[in-house]
Every structure is written in C-alpha cells, then in structure tokens.
Amino acid sequence: AAGVIQSPRHLIKEKRETATLKCYPIPRHDTVYWYQQGPGQDPQFLISFYEKMQSDKGSIPDRFSAQQFSDYHSELNMSSLELGDSALYFCASSRLAGGYEQYFGPGTRLTVT
C-alpha cells in the first residue's frame, strides 16, 4: 500500500539559511499534519491542512510557514534557521471521512550547523 512520502530525507543547513520540506500524503487522504520531534522528545504538532486550507495551528514559529497545494502535497518552509530547529520533521496524513487514523511519513532529519 502507498505510504506518505517525504523529501528530502536528510538536510543539512547553516544558521540563518532557509529550508523547504515536502510531503506527499497517501492517495485520497485530504488532511496533512506536520510534527516536529527533537532528540528524545515526543512529536509536537506544528500545523495542519484540510482540503488545502489551514485547519489548525500549534507551536509553529513565525519563521515557519506551510501550505497545501491542489494535488494535496504540502510544503513546510523554514527561514532564518536556528540551531534549535535541528530535529526530525514528520508529515502525517489522514482521510477525514474515513476516520481519525494518522499515518506518518519517514520524516526529514534537519541538521542546522
């Protein structure tokens, strides 16, 4: 079965640079969620989109922005990167009409040096 796809899988950036993370949800899934997971931490919700509209917002810094496109893929844009942004970034998708289950992608490991 098709799963959530994330790219790139690894990303190394320097402080103050920008990064763009991409997420391709499971086919026919209409909702995308972004989570940030620091080392030894639980995933923290950042932002979500339903049918290309922002549906919820969590602890996402103002330096970050995201959107969902007409093909349902989503991009997380991160600017003025800080050392503390180093983390695993997961995208998850679900189909609202199909239930509440969220399925996670393999994640993007972002390292800021």
Partner 1 sequence: GENVEQHPSTLSVQEGDSAVIKCTYSDSASNYFPWYKQELGKRPQLIIDIRSNVGEKKDQRIAVTLNKTAKHFSLHITETQPEDSAVYFCAASWGVGLTGGGNKLTFGTGTQLKVEL
> How many Cβ atoms are within 10 Å of 113's Cβ, its own excluded?
10
Minimum separation from the CB atom of position 73 to partner 1 (A): 18
Least distance CB 62 / partner 1 (angstroms): 19
CA 35-38-42 angle, to 5 degrees, is 65
Q: How far is the CB of 27 from partner 1 (least distance, A)?
A: 18
Q: What is the dihedral sign for C-alpha 48, 45, 8, 93?
A: negative
Whichever of 33 and 64 has its CB closer to partner 1, that residue is 33
- How many other β-carbons are positioned within 10 Å of the β-carbon of residue 7? 13
Q: Are 54 and 64 in contact (CB under 8 A)?
A: no
By CB under 8 A, name the binding residues for partner 1.
31, 33, 35, 41-45, 48, 50-51, 55-56, 58, 88, 90, 92, 94, 96-97, 100-107, 109
Q: Which is nearer to partner 1, 79 or 88 (CB)?
A: 88
**Nearest CB to partner 1, comparing residues 6 and 78:** 6
Q: For partner 1, which is the closer residue by CB, 70 or 100?
A: 100
